[in-house]
């Protein structure tokens, strides 16, 4: 299979997994159950999770997955972002959506992120400048009366590289860098009624390999350079996970991702698709019709 075809296939699986996963988000259901079901779905379709399913609720924006011992359940009124990644031989589809549990109080906030994503997608073709994309996203979110999150960006994707160098801000900026034909990019506007910044707020139960070491051989073999969940380590280390984790962290063989929360406690919405940039426009690889 060619790289393009692998991205197309991974994108489709990520999109389907998200579509299914969203249906499982209901009052009283555990975060962990939804994350595990989505990850199982991805595997059943012949791909692998490209990163742990991110479940970010209310003022949490990103970089959180439930831990093995997490018993948190969705509550009525929660604004839930589900961010899903699937990969085939390192070719990644990355997609996210926001839902509100049982209420419609934040419908406009959710719509703001979705419409900003749509407007960006409509504008994307080879030659568009990163600064222009940011401006389109910011304008749409502000039209709704909300603020884009400034320190969370879209990104380019390459085989086994979730963030492949190109960063696409969600606000007007001066970047003259142009998207190129054949590039794979994930666009992910975040909207909030808060300040428009995220800050670290403790462990997100997501890790990455930081240093090549014989002690990370098993992790490297399984996850390559992609982020992995604390939950996933139970398959490898069994009951020794807490000990192994602190050992690997202390030696800086692995590094943690921190949960990102809105700086002023604002509620956050997110929408994301992975795109293949063409001369005339783009193909939405994670969209399920």
| Min CB(188)–Co ion separation in Å | 5
What is the b/e burial string over 120-155, where b = at least 16 CB atoms within 10 angstroms of the residue's CB?
bbeebebebebbbbbbbbbebbbebebbbbbebbbb
Give me the catalytic one of 63, 132, 272, 273: 272
Indicate if 155 belongs to the active site: yes
Is residue 272 annotated as a catalytic residue, yes or no?
A: yes
Q: Does 94 bind Co ion (CB under 5 A)?
A: yes
State the sign of the Cα–Cα–Cα–Cα dihedral 88, 89, 91, 97: positive
SS3 for 8? helix
Element (H, E) at 137: helix 130-143
Answer left, alpha or beta for residue 63, where phi above 0 means left and psi between -120 and 50 means alpha: left
Please report, for residues 64, 190, 248, the alpha-carbon distance to residue 114 in angstroms, rounded to integers and kept in the order given.
21, 9, 39
Q: Which is nearer to Co ion, 125 or 163 (CB)?
A: 163
Catalytic residue (one of 63, 87, 155, 273): 155
User: Per rule CB under 5 A, is residue 166 in the interface with Co ion?
Assistant: no
Tell me, by CB under 5 A, how many residues bind Co ion. 2
The distance of closest approach from Cβ of residue 155 to Co ion in the complex, given in angstroms and rounded to an integer, is 6
Q: Confirm or reject binding of residue 186 to Co ion (CB under 5 A).
A: yes
Q: One of 3, 114, 163, 283 is an active-site residue; which one? A: 163
Catalytic residue, from 6, 16, 94, 132: name it.
94
Q: Is 188 a catalytic residue?
A: yes
Binding site for Co ion (CB under 5 A): 94, 186
Residues marked as catalytic: 83, 94, 155, 163, 188, 272
């Amino acid at each position: 299979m060619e790289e393009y075809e692998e991205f197309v296939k991974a994108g489709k699986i990520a999109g389907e997994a998200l579509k299914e996963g969203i249906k499982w988000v209901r009052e009283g259901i555990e975060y962990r159950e939804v994350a595990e079901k989505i990850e199982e779905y991805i595997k059943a379709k012949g791909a692998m999770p490209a990163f742990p399913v991110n479940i970010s609720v209310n003022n949490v924006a990103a970089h959180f997955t439930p831990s093995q011992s997490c018993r948190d359940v969705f509550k009525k009124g929660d604004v839930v972002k589900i961010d899903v990644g699937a990969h085939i031989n390192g070719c990644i589809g990355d997609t996210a959506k926001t839902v509100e549990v049982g209420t419609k109080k934040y419908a406009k906030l959710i719509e703001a992120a979705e419409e900003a994503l749509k407007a960006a997608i409509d504008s994307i073709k080879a030659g568009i400048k990163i600064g222009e994309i940011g401006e389109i996203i910011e304008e749409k979110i502000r039209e709704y009366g909300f603020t884009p999150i400034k320190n969370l960006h879209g990104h380019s994707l390459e085989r086994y590289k979730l963030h492949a160098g190109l960063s696409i801000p969600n606000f007007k900026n001066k970047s003259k860098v142009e998207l190129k034909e054949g590039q794979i990019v994930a666009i992910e506007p975040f909207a909030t009624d808060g300040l428009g910044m995220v800050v670290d707020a403790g462990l997100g139960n997501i890790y990455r390999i930081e240093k090549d070491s014989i002690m990370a051989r098993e992790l490297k073999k399984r996850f390559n350079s992609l982020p992995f969940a604390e939950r996933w380590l139970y398959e490898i280390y069994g009951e020794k996970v807490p000990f192994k984790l602190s050992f690997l962290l202390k030696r800086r063989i692995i590094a943690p991702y921190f949960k990102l929360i809105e700086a002023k406690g604002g509620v956050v919405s997110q929408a994301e698709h992975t795109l293949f940039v063409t001369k005339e426009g783009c193909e939405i690889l994670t969209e399920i019709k």
